[in-house]
Amino acid sequence: MKTREFIKEDYEEYNDEADMVKSNLNTIIRSAEELEQLIHDNENMAEWAQEKLAVVKSMIVTVKDYIASEHERGIAKTVAETATSGGTSSGAVATSIGGSAGFGKSIFMKRNPTKAKKK
């Protein structure tokens, strides 16, 4: 199998990523609105709950900033563009979070269908 065919086949499995992200965001929005209604003004809240909300906010802002930055730089590609642009036959995809001005970390996603999942 040629590299392009392998990559295209690998990416076709993930062709609904934007829909999945939007579905998750709608769930987050709905839950946040419901939570806002449940919390009364001047109500005390457990510190662990406050911390969880602060972490969620930080994560959402980080992802939003990353996507906005990628779009500004013209890096965002559709699945079809990414699948035909070449790469390695390993199926590994690396994306940088925040770029050089951000965290500078990379996330490596590797799809290995031959490995059995541990139970």
Domain spans in the chain, listed from the N-terminal domain onward: 3-110
Collapsing DSSP states into helix, strand and coil, what is residue 8?
Answer: helix
What are 66-97's pLDDT values in tens digits?
Answer: 999 999 998 866 655 655 555 444 444 444 44
Contact 106, 95 (CB under 8 A): yes
Question: What is the spatial distance between Cα 91 and Cα 111, in angstroms, rounded to a whole number?
Answer: 6
What are 1-59's pLDDT values in tens digits?
Answer: 555 665 555 555 556 789 999 999 999 999 999 999 999 999 999 999 999 999 999 99
Contact 110, 92 (CB under 8 A): yes
Q: Where are the beta strands (DSSP E) in the chain?
A: 92-97, 105-110
The pair of structure tokens assigned to 33 is: 């609105």
Say how many C-beta atoms besides its own lie within 10 A of residue 7's C-beta. Answer: 22
